Amino acid sequence: MLYGSFSGNPKTEWLCDDVDDGNMRLLEAFWYIDPQGRRWDAPKDGITNGASIPRTLWSYIGSPYTGKYRRAAIVHDFAVQTPGVLRDDADTMFYFACAAGGCPLMDSKLLYAGVRIGTWGLATRDYAANIFTFAPMAPRLPGQQTPTELEMRARYTLLAAELQDTGDDFDAIHAAVARQLALPGRA
């Protein structure tokens, strides 16, 4: 249980009547137990929209329902909505859950960097760009990106290079991400 463990495979159903057709309902409770023994719950009938990866990073990381990070994304969705759970703790759990789900180490680091970049983007309060949801964006040319999206991609590219040298030391991984995004360090 180096990285933790899941309760099994989540049982879900697509909510096809939903406006964006990207939500799923959990048909039974699902959870992840992290390396410290903390249980992260996703309740029966809870709604998830997969990994909340900013669209501009999909070409680097993948889209919401692809990859071995799907189970980690489900518990992360509920963790960030749970009163009293710090975003930093939920994102840390996501890193370990990605690894527990079978993601290679570098992928787990890049996915962690992606959710932290999402936190950074939210902190910039650039809601008008609508880059953190899957709702339709304002009309623009194919491939056109907002200034925040361009900065996000640049920061992610720099992070990917820096993360190569961190090994599996989570404090080093977090410090690299925090430096790049000017986020608060771990307490």
Q: Which amino acid is at 173?
A: I
Mean per-residue pLDDT over the chain, rounded: 82
Mean pLDDT confidence for 94-99: 96
Distance between CA 169 and CA 127 in Å, rounded?
33
> How many domains is the chain built from?
1
38 or 156, higher pLDDT: 38
**Whole-angstrom Cα Rg for the chain:** 16
Distance between CA 51 and CA 89 in Å, rounded?
16
Does some domain include residue 151? yes
Q: Over the stretch 42-55, which tens digit does the pLDDT of each residue have?
A: 999 999 988 877 77
List residues bridging with 87 in a β-sheet.
none
Q: Tell me, what DSSP letter sits at residue 127? A: G
Residues 6 or more apart whose CB falls under 8 angstroms from that of 106 comprise 163, 164
Does some domain include residue 132? yes
Question: What range does the domain containing 148 cover?
Answer: 5-136+143-181
List residues bridging with 41 in a β-sheet.
31
Does some domain include residue 187? no
Distance between CA 92 and CA 96 in Å, rounded?
7
Pairing state of beta strands 5-6 and 24-26?
Answer: unpaired
What pTM was computed for the model? 0.81
Does some domain include residue 87? yes
CA 29 to chain centroid:
20
Residue 31: is it exposed, middle or buried by C-beta count within 10 angstroms (0-12/13-18/19+)? middle
In this prediction, residue 86 carries a pLDDT of: 93
Q: Measure CA of the first residue to CA of the last residue in the chain; give whole Å.
A: 24
Percent of the chain exceeding pLDDT 90 equals: 46
Does some domain include residue 186? no
Task: Residue 61: count other Cβ atoms within 10 Å of its Cβ.
Answer: 21
Distance between CA 73 and CA 107 in Å, rounded?
14
